[in-house]
Amino acid sequence: MQPEYHQAITRRPGPGIVRGLRERDHGDPDPTLAHDQHEAYVSQLKACGLDVDILNADPALPDNVFVEDTAICLPDCAVLTNPGAPSRRGEVASVHEALKRYYEVIHRITAPGTLDGGDVLEVGDHYFIGLSARTNEEGADQLIQILNEFGLTGSTVIFSGFLHLKSGVSWLGEETLLLTEGFGQLTAFSSFDQIVVPDNEAYAANAVMINGRVLLAAGYPETLALVETAGFETVTLEMSEFHKVDGGLSCLSLRF
């Protein structure tokens, strides 16, 4: 079963987003357009029934709009990450302060472990943890130990071709995954019902299911048709400016 979410934490994009990390050059994002796209995203979270805690941008931290990478929100505790990119580690402190309003128990991933929230895919009581340039085995092991303390399980996934695990796979509830063809061939996901996005629409594999509604990036009609044919209610959102700095829909919020 997909959990019912009640709360989200987001952070506004600031002008510094033009300095955001990226693996490929797709041009600099437009801060004004990024702000407008983020506002539409927040509006949709609210339409899905969430209370949204919006943090202010920190001009010294250009990637901090991607708040998902800073924490893992479990049912009974939160886990602060240790982001793999050193320039992003300063983002965690303010998210910690925000999470204190909602969680009594907060754990932390510590060095030499590194972990980005974008590498952690929740599927019911199990969490798949992608080993990437941002998340290492030590960080994954620390998270698995915390999961086990709360009656949850975790396992690691080795993948390639994407910055984060959730760049290429999303859980849509029950036994359904939205993923790229390459991710669909991974043993970890072979037993699931798969909606496979076309190679030319790989960005659309990063989606968010919230309280029965699937949020998808706009501009990917084949993926949209596949998800709707599978019986899901959908909403599309413009993500062009966040795509330029390797961000997707899931990256923009912590949902719990």
Could you read off the pLDDT of 66-78 as tens digits, one per residue? Answer: 999 999 999 999 9
Residue 104: the pLDDT is 97
Sheet holding 213-217, edge to edge: 208-210, 213-217, 233-237
Say if strands 126-131 and 120-123 run parallel, antiparallel, or are unpaired: antiparallel
- The model's pLDDT over 149-208, given as tens digits with 9 standing for 90+, comes to 999 999 999 999 999 999 999 999 999 999 999 999 999 999 999 999 999 999 999 999
Q: pLDDT-derived band of residue 249, with 50, 70 and 90 as boundaries?
A: very high
- Closest listed residue to residue 195, CA positions, set 236, 227, 161: 227
Residues carrying an active site annotation: 164, 251
Residue 21: the pLDDT is 87
- Closest listed residue to residue 205, CA positions, set 159, 232, 171: 171
Residue 27: the pLDDT is 87
Residue 187: the pLDDT is 97
- The model's pLDDT over 43-60, given as tens digits with 9 standing for 90+, comes to 999 999 999 999 999 999
Cα-Cα end-to-end distance for the chain: 14
- The model's pLDDT over 13-24, given as tens digits with 9 standing for 90+, comes to 999 898 888 887
Residue 133: the pLDDT is 96
Q: What is the arithmetic mean of pLDDT over 6-10?
A: 98
**Predicted confidence (pLDDT) at residue 2 exceeds the cutoff of 80:** no
Rounded to two decimals, what is the model's pTM? 0.96
Residue 110: the pLDDT is 98
Strand partners of residue 189: none
The whole-angstrom separation of Cα 103 and Cα 111 is 23
Say if strands 78-80 and 71-73 run parallel, antiparallel, or are unpaired: antiparallel
The whole-angstrom separation of Cα 114 and Cα 209 is 26
Q: pLDDT-derived band of residue 1, with 50, 70 and 90 as boundaries?
A: low
Residue 161: the pLDDT is 93
Region label for 219, one of left (φ > 0), alpha (ψ between -120 and 50) or beta (otherwise): left
- The model's pLDDT over 95-145, given as tens digits with 9 standing for 90+, comes to 999 999 999 999 999 999 999 999 999 999 999 999 999 999 999 999 999
Q: What is the arithmetic mean of pLDDT over 27-40?
A: 96
Owner of token pair 């072979």: 190
The CA–CA distances, whole Å, from 76 to 7, 53, 103, 120 equal 14, 19, 8, 17
